[in-house]
Amino acid sequence: MLLYIILAFMLDSLYYVTFIAAFVCCIFTYKSLDQNFKWFLPFLAFGVVYNFPPVFQLLIIRHTNAWCNNFEDILEFICYATFIMSFEKRAKRKKHMYIVAGIIIVLSVIDIFWIQGFWKRATIAIVTQNLFGLWLICSYYYRLLNDDNEEYIELMTYPPFLAVTGIFFYYLAMTFYYSCFSFMVYKNNYHFYLIAATLLDLNSLIINGLFSFSFICFFRKNSLSS
């Protein structure tokens, strides 16, 4: 058990380090990035500030920071959904995607203020956002694998695929986590806290690692072509 606690603490420290690493990679490769990747810079800058421990502690009000995490989740959903939908080439379908995303944002706000409460984790909103995000990603994978484009794509070094895959693993883990969050937390299950912390940290390592690698692949691609 002690070893597990130490591992969880180390992962928690690495989580913030990988966030900074992704931000630094984005800065140094910014000029090489496609337009729909460039919004990652302000998003990661916000994440670095928001997750900075002293700032995070300041946001704890009435013994909880759930209220600000709920709004951060909505911002995250807007950014990730917009990024994934930018690869949709069919204008009518993209319009429908934006409409559904807008409805989910409205429902999320309703959940925060009038269903689960402002000071509690809006798990209904989070799971709904994640499920829609997973559907967008599966739709992207389907289009990518069935594209008639004759250009050969090496998926392991293809930046959009890497970034979307990072978001896929993130949404998958978050859906599982928040599906049982309310039940396990309110039972005060100590083991759940440890598992949850480890899962969240590993998940963040994966998404930030794939973001960093996708930025580097952009830089490498442009360097070879110049």
Q: What is the pLDDT of residue 55?
A: 76
Task: Choose among 136, 138, 126: nearest CA to 180.
Answer: 126
Q: What is the pLDDT of residue 199?
A: 73
pLDDT at 161 over 80: yes
Structure tokens that stand for 217 in this block:
């692949």
How many alpha carbons lie under 13 Å from residue 140 in its C-beta half-sphere?
A: 24
Task: Provide the 3-class DSSP secondary structure of residue 64.
Answer: strand
Q: 203 vs 20, which has greater pLDDT?
A: 20
Distance CA(111)–CA(109), nearest Å, equals 5
In the chain, % of residues over pLDDT 90: 50
Q: What is the pLDDT of residue 201?
A: 73
Distance CA(50)–CA(44), nearest Å, equals 10
Task: Choose among 165, 144, 141, 148: nearest CA to 214.
Answer: 165
Mean pLDDT of all residues in 144-168:
85
The answer to whether residues 83 and 163 touch, using CB atoms and an 8 Å cutoff, is: yes
**Which residue is it, tokens 């300041």?**
58
CB environment 110-133: b (16+ within 10 A), e (fewer): ebbeeebeeebbbbbbbbbbbebb
Mean pLDDT of all residues in 81-90:
94
The answer to whether residues 213 and 220 touch, using CB atoms and an 8 Å cutoff, is: no
Q: What is the pLDDT of residue 147?
A: 76
Confidence band (pLDDT; 50, 70, 90) for 150? low
Q: Please give the backbone phi and psi of residue 141, each rounded to the nearest 5 degrees, phi first.
A: -60, -40
The answer to whether residues 110 and 119 touch, using CB atoms and an 8 Å cutoff, is: no
Distance CA(9)–CA(14), nearest Å, equals 9
- The region of weakest confidence among 77-91, 100-114, 200-214 is 200-214
List, for residues 179-208, the tens digit of each pLDDT value.
876 666 556 665 666 666 677 777 888 999
Q: What is the pLDDT of residue 196?
A: 67
Structure tokens that stand for 13 in this block:
């420290």
Q: What is the pLDDT of residue 219?
A: 86
Confidence band (pLDDT; 50, 70, 90) for 24? very high
Average model confidence (pLDDT) for the chain? 85
In the chain, % of residues over pLDDT 70: 82
Distance CA(81)–CA(88), nearest Å, equals 11
Q: 217 vs 196, which has greater pLDDT?
A: 217
Q: What is the pLDDT of residue 15?
A: 74
Q: 59 vs 33, which has greater pLDDT?
A: 33
Residue 1: how many other CB atoms lie within 10 Å: 8
The terminus-to-terminus CA distance of the chain in angstroms comes to: 53
Q: What is the pLDDT of residue 204?
A: 83
Radius of gyration, CA atoms only, the chain: 18
pLDDT at 114 over 90: yes
